[in-house]
Amino acid sequence: MSSDRGIFQGHYTSGKPFVRARIVIVNPETGRQTTIEKNFWIDTGFDGGVHVAQAHVSEIQLIKVNPRLGPVGLAGGVKRPGYFCHAYLQQIGDHEFPAPGIDSTLILQGSSGHGFLGLEILRRFVATFDGPHEFLKIGQAQQSQSREA
């Protein structure tokens, strides 16, 4: 399987597949929005969309969006309460997605300095993890290869 349009390619950082990405949270009632831009670890064991530290809740509340409480599963089978809201993934690396971006679940939990991008995002793309060369490549799937989300 091959991809026809490249979105991101680059070497791992500290032995892990990180990408720079930008997400936007929008209040649909007022049109106000806030942006989170940081490094995200591409995590194939994460079934959600985007995961960032809980500290971002206060930024989101400034636009009158209240992330809602819900149960989050963590590595090792641990379960913790976290906060959930809707967000758009607008950019990975230098690649900007057409507005408003890719619909995604945003989880706010924990205190990690970097975020996580999970399968909810990856299922739209062809991602190649070249372990021996520590190289990550993300491409847009060909139309015939993509499945309806």
Q: In this structure, what DSSP letter does residue 77 have?
A: G
- One residue of 24, 89, 90, 104 binding other proteins per CB under 8 A: 104
- Is 3 exposed, middle or buried (CB count within 10 Å of its CB: 0-12, 13-18, 19+)? middle
- Contact between residue 117 and residue 21 where contact means Cβ atoms under 8 Å apart: yes
Q: Of the listed pieces 4-12, 69-77, 122-130, 132-140, which binds other proteins according to CB under 8 A?
A: 69-77
Is residue 75 a contact residue for other proteins (CB under 8 A)? yes
Alpha carbon 103 to its chain's center: 10
Q: Which is nearer to other proteins, 120 or 141 (CB)?
A: 120
User: At its nearest, how many Å lie between other proteins and the CB of residue 149?
Assistant: 9
Distance CA 62, CA 39 (A): 23
- One residue of 120, 124, 125, 139 binding other proteins per CB under 8 A: 120
Is residue 37 a contact residue for other proteins (CB under 8 A)? no
